[in-house]
Amino acid sequence: MNLRQIEVFRATMLTGSTADAARLLHVSQPGISRMISHIELQLGVSLFERGKGRLRPTPEAHALYAEVEQVYRGVQRIDARAQALKSGGGLELRVLATPSLLLEVIPGAVASLSADYPDSCFYVESQLVREMVRLLTIGEADVGFSSLPIDHAPLVTEAIGSWSMSCVFPKGHRFEQESSVPLREIVKERMIAFSPDTPQGRMVAEAYPQTLMSKRGRIEVRSGQVACVLTAAGAGVAVVDNLTARAWRNDLLLFRPISKAPTSSVFRVRNSNFPSSFLEDELVERVRQSFLLPPSRRP
């Protein structure tokens, strides 16, 4: 029996007549009668006793109906799941992001998406680029967000925002009166330095190598978050990515963009062998929109 036959048989069992079954299914009564006769012929058994406009189910019909109800409930569950998937319900999304993006941008987008689709599950991890590449390549994550470019088949990338460098400093510092700060002024201060192999370290070293080499007793870090903590404690000023700077802005710590600092892209990273879900595309769009908002309206 196909699904249409199951539907007609069930309607007839529920109503007790082909006329009422036809009204239930919004079709003609002769069509229902022909379908019932075809089912009986196909199965080789009599399902109903006819008489006085009513149909009396045979024992064979009752036995078949018990199985049909199980199938019908399964179809209902499938339909309910399909409707839920249409609105993001019941979906899971495994998200990876480099640390600076997980300070503010990604959490804001995930929080708003989770509020709109409360039946969905989100798994969010902070990963460095190397581990992000591995997990996306083997299909153990759905989407990654990276502040650094990635070139690794079968992964594909899409620029969805940008970041640059900022100077963080304690409240009350002279930089507070400026709208942006030149790097030449920053290196005059007591600096919390980054290792030379980091983007921050490379930018400062390439612009003012002799200045940094001459400084003694400096504090060196590899993390923008550590640099912000030290700056808030009064250890000096630091050059960090603006994603970290804006997330750490508080009563103790302020930041200003660095004049003429280079701009880099933020990338969506995904495995081209797996199609994206509605939930993934919606998250990406919300992350993209967060980069378009002015700083005062960002999540």
- At residue 182, the pLDDT reads 92
Burial class (CB in 10 A: 0-12, 13-18, 19+), 181: buried
pTM of the complete model: 0.66
Answer whether residue 224 is part of any domain: yes
Domain residues for 69? 3-86
Of 51, 70, 86, which one is at a domain's C-terminal end?
Answer: 86
Domain co-membership, 122 together with 149? yes
Over the range 125-141, which residues count as b (16 or more CB within 10 Å of their CB) and which as e?
eebebeebbebbeeeeb
| Residue 35 main-chain phi, psi, to 5 deg | -65, -45
Kindly state whether residue 282 falls inside one of the protein's structural domains: yes
Q: Kindly report the average pLDDT of the chain as a whole number.
A: 87
Same domain, residue pair 80 and 108: no
Share of the chain above pLDDT 70, in %: 89
- 103 and 62 part of one domain: no
Does the residue 8 lie in any domain?
Answer: yes
Kindly report, residue by residue over 38-91, the tens digit of the pLDDT.
Answer: 999 999 999 999 887 789 999 999 999 988 888 877 777 677 666 666 655 568
Window from 174-183, 200-209, 259-268 with minimum mean pLDDT = 200-209
Q: Is residue 262 domain-resident? A: no
Please indicate, yes or no, whether residues 279 and 145 belong to a single structural domain of this protein.
yes
271 and 156 in a single domain? The answer is yes
Structural domain includes residue 192: yes
Q: What are phi and psi of 229, to 5 degrees?
A: -60, -45
Q: Is 14 inside any structural domain?
A: yes
The number of folded domains in the chain is 3
- Give tens-digit pLDDT for 233-284: 999 999 999 999 989 888 899 999 999 888 889 999 999 999 998 899 999 9
Q: Do 56 and 14 share a structural domain? A: yes
Dihedral, CA atoms, 66, 71, 72, 74, nearest 10 degrees?
130
Residue ending a domain, choose from 86, 116, 132: 86
Q: Are residue 125 and residue 81 in the same domain, yes or no?
A: no
Give the model's confidence band at 299: pLDDT under 50 very low, under 70 low, under 90 confident, else very high: very low
CATH number at residue 31: 1.10.10.10
